[in-house]
Structure 1
Amino acid sequence: MATFPDTIPELDIKKRNLVEMNWDPITRIVGSLGIFTKIDFANKTVAECHSTSSIFRGYSIFMKGKDPRDAHFITSRICGICGDNHATCACYAQNMAFGIRPPALAEWIINLGEAAEYMFDHNIFQDNLVGVDFCEQMVKETNPNVWEKAQHTPAPNADKHGYRMISDIMTALNPFTGTFYRETLAMSRMTREMFCLMEGRHVHPSTLYPGGVGTVATIQLFTDYLVRLMKYVEFMKKVVPLHDDLFDFFYDALPGYEEVGRRRVLLACWGSYNDPDSCDYQYKNMAEWGRKMFVTPGVVVDGKLVTNSLVDINLNIRILLGSSYYDDWQGSETFVPRDPLGNPVDKRHPWNQTTIPRPQKRDFKGNYTWVMSPRWLDQRTGDHLALDTGGGPIARLWSTALSGLVDIGYVKATGHSVKINLPKTAMLPETEFEWHIPKWSNTLERDRARTYFQAYAAATALYFVEKALAELNAGRTSTWTEFKVPEEAIGCGFHEAVRGVLSHHVVIREGKIANYHPYPPTPWNANPRDMYGTPGPYEDAVQNTPLFEENGPDKFKGIDIMRTVRSFDPCLPCGVHMYLGDGKILETRHSPMFGVAGHE
């Protein structure tokens, strides 16, 4: 399709050959994620990217009419990896709607369960899935010159993790044969056991309910958890310096690699770990008890904290249709015209959303995915921001660092960093790590933050064990509060799933669920171009990213693209099937006067 007038001189036009390369699926559990690109091999860059999801599940539809007490059991099945995060967030929303406050001991048990989940999931994803992208086998195939340099580069922290050269770290990450790869697998089993001690079953908790937990709290229970936790703490003293060495090496070996997966700093964190001394689940107090969370909620724009109020965060969520397979609901019922504080609630807020699916053929010039486009309205500018979670940890640490509110001994937010103190263990001395706010929100820094947040989760768990034992020793052993389901109510829960922001919004009428919308991190990260043409975070991070892979089109693996997508932790990518579109070459015409013209 020609879009330039015929009178433009041919000398002013530069031709670019673009090759369609598509990876579909790239995901595990929450639907099939496809990344469709057009690559400019001459300039070694991604010219265009679309993120698609080909599966529709419809939880917001079949939750209607259900007993509100079942919400957490049902929504935990949204995901086979982070189901407990959904169950926890649903319980938070139920607690608000039912007007109840769980006993403190129950909250510490829930926090311990979620800490174990962070440790488990980040551990297995970082080192058994993301790590493969940096292992010897992969680097040899995609960047043999980098492998050659790795063989001659000493690891600065070899005395802490035991691998003398950077190449030794890469070899240790080889799947199934690498020593570090196997060590992390064993550790993931231990962390899963820790979760089961607190909530009975992983990944769909059997002892988690609105009002608290059914877990029988004993000194033995917390001791069994603590024994495993201390082994993980010792492991972290090795893992953090190992990953620092690996990621720093890539910056050094490939100058310019900071641009891979880089996008504007637009980060979202909804907060995690409620403090039972402050959290009463009343909406009117939500901003206050939200700031008491042990991971501070916040919206970070261009590196600056815009807000850490959960009320502000809640009211400014907008669900835009964009390029998704749904009809608009503007003519549908408004369930919640105002929040409990009297603030108006937008029609595009999850409380007022009505899901109207409209299956259709994928069209990259129109609609091409089942994912809607969550946005956050920046009241300062009127912009609908395509916030991302950065895979979870980078947003959590960035928001917590800037707020400077967390200080519990084991972890401390300084305003510009987060300090993590790990006590003496069987073989290693007391160790302090400090995560500093990075220069960029890019592929390597998303991955680096995931490592530091593993240590953060372990450190907070130490604190939670102490608090739980204090409750037990004081004789405050209750773990559940009775309640009655109201005839009419609304509720919202805010939490951090492993890979980022998670909210559940519920409306109850006549004692049944009238409207229910869960928004996990996948819609925030994997969404398509919205109604304003703004690309989603995956699309934005991949589009225009430079490519450092040494292979040409015939053997291209797209390793820089894969590292970028996986840095967001897209619900654990297990199988990547590559489709080259039969090597179809497109021609893009570029004029110095008008920019990119289109494809022919």
Structure 2
Amino acid sequence: MTTSERNPDLVEMAWDPITRIVGSLGLYCKIDFRNRRVAECYSTSSIFRGYSVFMKGKDPRDAHFITSRICGICGDNHATCSVYAQNMAYGVRPPALGEWILNLGEAAEYMFDHNLYQENLVGVDYCEKMVRETNPGVLAMAERTEAPHAGDHGYRTIADIMRSLNPLEGEFYREALAVSRLTREMFCLMEGRHVHPSTLYPGGVGTVATVQLFTDYLTRLMRYVEFMKRVVPMHDDLFDFFYQALPGYEEVGRRRVLLGCWGSFQDPEHCDFTYRNMSHWGREMYVTPGVIVDGKLVTNDLVDINLGIRILLGSSYYDDWQDQEPFVTRDPLGNPVDIRHPWNQHTIPHPQKRDFGDKYSWVMSPRWFDGEDALALDTGGGPIARLWSTALSGRVDIGYVESTGHSVRINLPKTALRPEKTFEWKIPEFKGQPLSNALERNRARTYFQAYAAACALYFVERGLAEVRAGRTQTWEPFTVPDEAISCGFTEAVRGVLSHHMVIRNGKIANYHPYPPTPWNASVRDVHGTPGPYEDAVQNTPIFEENPPADFKGIDIMRTVRSFDPCLPCGVHMYLGGGEELRRVHTPHAFGAT
């Protein structure tokens, strides 16, 4: 903790690395304790890995196996997105059963990851031990406040909910860990291995589809559905309480509503993976793609979304590629493609000393160009963007889930111990204005777990129908063309995920994966626009009761962790030119040279 040289009223503080996430995220802030507010924030990441560099020259059929290793958490999301891009490049349409199986695997991944992160990582920020340290007055109020939905989740007071979230010893903390095992088993049933799928290929899947397969999945899914009937009301009680206990808490982590969702869960009746039909089959996804600006839907057209992507630099450790020859000048529909689009990106690392006045991070700055401005979209951790886009589009109605144009209804059927239950996620507002903040990002994560479970119920039914009708083919053969450009779009757990590929002479000439973390953790771009973490944190008020003497920065941590950071997807390892010191000859273990 140091005093700022420019303004003695500001205190410089750093949290590096941020705990309870994967990767090397650091936050460097200036805190105005007099006015109890974060004045400035810089988000950094200190390592670089060059997937976009070493993918060049590879066989395109290896792309999903390689890119799944980008991350040990959302590797299957990368594999899925890569397979989508390959399907487009090869002109192959998987059998319907293959797509239902893939959808079930990805639904299980959403359930697994969101449950683990929400209850065992984010939940610690709101547990009794944490609140006792940072806001003892809030805990005292929680002891006196009865939980409105106690009959649903079993905890009499808000403080009882907080105690249940205490790490390792809390009852709900331990229960959530057990549930995460169920969802990982569900994933492995459909995709073979977690988190790097072994049965997922372009053209479909290698999973052997039987009635028993779907039954094994469904028995676990119904236990998860029953679990969610307790979780949604419990989190509603907890998050609503913080608004009640701390007036003004809606400003913690709040930023302008600029949300991106690239869509998820393909409908095989509509999806042929061709670029020319992408606008149509994109809108038919069970999670509808969309760009949300100031709470309103700007577009849900994947072609528009694709063409609007821009990769800017500014404060990141790379040299520009503006003068390089573009790989793609027009998309398959004849639309012009910008030099800053992922199809045309060149990754030219330029390591240097960190300077917050210039370059300070390995994360680039993806933006979405709306025709006038390069918008710093965020994913809100994924679920809030997915639910918001799906709600406004009003295109999903499969019984278990329904998008109404202003909300999403989730209908969970009767389970062993609980009757059927309907939850409705409504677009959050505060004083008539759309609201995206730390609490609403976390709340949406809970509702989307229920949404994914409800969708999975539908996918099981459709998959079983295919098997019982004798349509058991799960894979379609293909050939690799000499020349192709393609893209894949889906939602990783934390939000938007795209893979852009250029094939020349049958090999990968250019390949760029863009997961949610580069969008959320992006830094100040060439226009000086801060990234979402930076923007959300530097507008955050301080509600801790004892600063600056014993300052934990809990409101800052809640803000960052509401985005579900996962830095491996944002940065990659850089070795530099290197120098050979000496070469050692090592005999083969069995004596051969």
Q: TM-score, normalised by structure 2?
A: 0.93
2:526 matches 1:517: no
What's 1:568 paired with? 563
Match of 2:400 among 403, 407, 410: 410
Equivalent position SS for 1:418: strand
- The answer to whether structure 1 residue 544 and structure 2 residue 539 are counterparts is yes
Say whether residues 1:391 and 2:381 are aligned partners: yes
- Cα drift, residue 20 of structure 1: 1.1
Alignment partner, residue 203 of structure 1: 195
Decide which of 170, 175, 181 is 2:162's aligned counterpart.
170
Give the whole-Å Cα distance in 2 for the aligned partners of 1:252 and 1:317: 40
Select 1:212's aligned residue among 193, 201, 204.
204
Asked if structure 2 preserves the Cα contact closer than 8 Å seen for 1:27 and 1:571, the reply is: no
Q: Which amino acid aligns with 2:488?
A: G
Q: Give yes or no for contact 1:324–1:370 (8 Å, CA) kept in 2.
A: yes
Deviation string, structure 1 residues 21-70 (Cα, Å, up to 9, x no partner)? 11111267763111110101111100100000101001000000000000
CA distance in 1, matches of 2:49, 2:427: 37
Residue identity matched to 1:111: N
Aligned residue number for residue 439 of structure 2: 444
The yes-or-no answer on 1:466 pairing with 2:458 is no
The residue type equivalent to 1:358 in the other structure is: H
Which 5+ residue runs of structure 2 have no aligned equivalent? Answer: 1-5, 430-434, 569-593
Provide Cα deviations, 1:135-191, integer angstroms capped at 9, x if missing partner. 000000000000000000000000000000000000000000000000000000100
SS in 1 for 2:491: strand
Does residue 101 (structure 1) correspond to residue 96 (structure 2)? The answer is no
Which amino acid is 2:442 matched to? Answer: D
Aligned position for 1:241: 233
Is the Cα–Cα contact under 8 Å of residues 411 and 418 in structure 1 kept in the other structure?
yes
Amino acid at match of 1:164: R
What does the per-residue CA deviation read over 1:253-310, in whole Å, with 9 as the maximum and x for residues that have no partner?
0000000000000000000000000000000000000000000000000010000000
Task: Please list, as runs of the form range in 1=range in 2, the aligned pairs for 1:290-439 lying within 5 A after superposition.
Answer: 290-379=282-371, 382-439=372-429
**Percent same amino acid at aligned positions?**
79
Distance 2:485 2:401 in 1: 34
- Structure 1 residue 571, shift from structure 2 partner: 1.9
**Separation (CA, whole Å) in 2 of partners of 1:41 and 1:412:** 46
Give the CA deviation at 1:555. 1.3
The structure 2 residue matched to 1:194, chosen from 150, 165, 186, is 186
The CA distance in 2 between the partners of 1:184 and 1:551, in whole Å, is 32
What residue is the counterpart of 1:589 in the other structure? none
Query: Equivalents in 2 of 1:131, 1:29: separation in Å?
Result: 13
Partners of 1:16 and 1:40 within 8 A in 2: no
Matches of 1:233 and 1:130, distance apart in 2: 21
Structure 1 residues 118-267: aligned runs within 5 Å: 118-267=110-259
Distance in 1 separating the partners of 2:349 and 2:560: 26
Match of 2:52 in 1: 60
Supply the distance in 2 between the matched residues of 1:287 and 1:489 (Cα, whole angstroms).
19
Cα 1:29–1:507 change in 2 (3 A) is farther
Task: Measure the CA separation in 2 of the matches of 1:331 and 1:30.
Answer: 35
- Residues 97 and 471 in structure 2, CA contact (< 8 A), matched pair in contact too: yes
Q: 1:561 to 1:398 in 2, by over 3 A?
A: same
Over aligned residues, Cα RMSD in angstroms?
1.1
**Per-residue deviation, residues 207-227 of structure 1 (Å, max 9, x unmatched):** 000111000001101000000
Residues 30, 79 of structure 1: 8 Å contact kept: no
Tell me how far apart the structure 2 counterparts of residues 225 and 28 of structure 1 sit (CA, whole Å): 30
Question: Structure 1 CA distance, aligned partners of 2:21 and 2:503?
Answer: 29
Equivalence for 2:479: 484
Aligned partner of 2:521 in structure 1 is 526
How far did 1:544 drift? 2.4
Match in the other structure for 1:559: 554
Partners of 1:572 and 1:98 lie apart in 2 by 31
Q: CA deviation at 1:325?
A: 0.2
Task: Check whether the contact 2:25–2:567 (CA below 8 A) recurs between aligned residues.
Answer: no
CA distance in 2, matches of 1:28, 1:73: 27
SS at 1:26 equivalent: coil
Mapped partners of 2:211, 2:455: distance in 1: 19
Shift of 1:552: 1.6
Deviations 1:91-135 (A, max 9, x none): 000000011000000000000000000000000000000000000
Deviations 1:539-575 (A, max 9, x none): 00000210101122231110000000000000289xx
Corresponding residue SS for 1:245:
helix
Q: Secondary structure at the match of 1:405?
A: coil
Opposite residue 525 of structure 2, the aligned amino acid is D
Cα pair 2:21 2:565 within 8 Å, conserved: no
TM-score calculated relative to the size of structure 1? 0.92
CA distance in 1, matches of 2:278, 2:190: 26
Structure 2 residue 82 is the aligned partner of structure 1 residue 90: yes
3-state DSSP of counterpart to 1:421 = strand
CA distance in 2 between counterparts of 1:150 and 1:347 reads 54
What is the aligned partner in structure 2 of residue 587 from structure 1? none
Q: 2:215 & 2:107 partners in 1: Cα distance?
A: 16
- For residues 34 and 552 of structure 1, what CA distance do their matches in structure 2 show? 21
- Rounded to whole Å, the distance in 1 between the matches of 2:528 and 2:346 is 22
Cα 1:481/1:30, change in 2 over 3 Å:
farther
Asked if 1:284 is matched to 2:276, the reply is yes
Aligned-partner residue type, residue 25 of structure 2 = L
1:144 and 1:28, CA in 2 relative to 1: closer, same or farther beyond 3 A?
closer
Checking the alignment, whether the CA contact within 8 Å between 1:30 and 1:78 is kept in structure 2 is no
Q: Which runs of 5+ in 1 are unaligned?
A: 1-13, 574-600
Residue identity opposite 1:202 in structure 2: H
Matched, 1:499 2:494: yes
Contact 1:417 1:434 in 2 (8 A): yes
Equivalent pair of 1:116/1:191 in contact (CA under 8 Å): yes
SS of the equivalent of 2:27 reads strand
Amino acid at match of 1:82: C
User: Which residue is 1:593 aligned to?
Assistant: none
Partner of 2:572: none
Give the aligned residue type for 1:517: H
C-alpha deviation, 1:19, in angstroms: 1.1
Return the letter of the residue paired with 1:438.
P
SS in 2 for 1:490: strand
Bigger CA drift: 29-38 or 134-143? 29-38
Alpha-carbon distance in structure 2 between the residues aligned to 1:185 and 1:450: 17
Equivalents in 2 of 1:343, 1:459: separation in Å?
38
Letter in 1 for 2:544: E
CA distance in 2, matches of 1:141, 1:28: 18
